[in-house]
Amino acid sequence: MAVDPVCEKPVNPHNAYWMIWYKGTPYYFCSEECQLKFDYKPEHYRVLALERRQNQAVS
Ligand SMILES: [Zn+2]
């Protein structure tokens, strides 16, 4: 499962309608609204997603 970087809901990449490639990484979204939010501030959400992944690796 992927995680929507905006609302942090789990998203199934296989049937996700909303997806963006940003800096070589695919991001999946639960809705067009979340995709638009990401599109508006991609760097903000990229950093958040990165931090979340690092936290998961530690715990
Ligand atoms: Zn969402």
* Residues within 5 A (CB) of ion ligand 1: 4, 7, 30, 34
Q: For residue 19, how far is its CA from the centre of ligand 1 (angstroms)? A: 11
Q: What is the pLDDT at residue 57?
A: 79
For residue 59, how far is its CA from the centre of ligand 1 (angstroms)? 24
- The per-residue pLDDT for 1 is 87
Mean pLDDT split into 10-residue runs, the chain, 59 residues: 94 94 95 97 96 82
Give 7's strand partners. Answer: none
CB 4 within 8 A of CB 34: yes
* Separation of CA 33 and ligand 1 centre (Å): 7
Structure confidence at residue 24 (pLDDT): 95
Q: Which residues of 27-56 are buried (b: 16+ CB within 10 A; e: fewer)?
A: bbbbeeebbebbeeeeeebbeebeeeeeee
5 C-alpha vs ligand 1 centroid, how far in Å?
Answer: 7
Q: Can you give the length of the chain in residues?
A: 59
